Amino acid sequence: MNTPQYSICAAWLARAYRCQKQEFTREQSSEHIRYKFFLGDMPFYQLYVNKIDCVILEQNIFGGTNLSPKMSDRERNKFTTRIGYPVMLDEDGETLQRWTGQAWSMEPTFAEFVFADLSLFKLFLNRNQVGILWERV
């Protein structure tokens, strides 16, 4: 069963890259989704989400290094440039719930995130807007 936070991540990835013209591969299992982008034959960038953490890891993978789910967090994080946290806007239109990787936290007001790297959209499982809030590592 997909959790709301995993569904938000998966939907954001699908929406963001549905019209992508550059070469990329999409790898999916019951436990993860990975989009890997190439420069010629060399992979240089990937977006990765797994069901355990339910956050999107944006990673630069110079030199063709393949980042495996079996790598330790420390190894994987040295390639990570941003982390995308799923968010849900409450019915009041001002309160934002953000997935921390372990639980949903209530953020004080949506207005604080106006200038943040935040993209909201409608998702079939929720009447309110959802999205991804990006933070640099």
Q: In angstroms, rounded to a whole number, what is the distance separating the alpha carbons of residues 8 and 53?
A: 13
Which run of H or of E encompasses 11?
helix 4-17
The pTM is what? Answer: 0.82
Pairwise CA distance, residues 48 & 73, whole Å:
13
Q: How many residues does the chain have?
A: 137
pLDDT tens for 30-70 read: 999 999 888 777 778 889 999 999 999 998 876 545 566 66
The per-residue pLDDT for range 83-98, each reduced to its tens digit, is: 999 998 888 777 888 9
* pLDDT value at residue 69: 60
User: Could you tell me the CA-to-CA distances from 101 to 25, 63, 74 in Å, in that order?
Assistant: 25, 29, 16
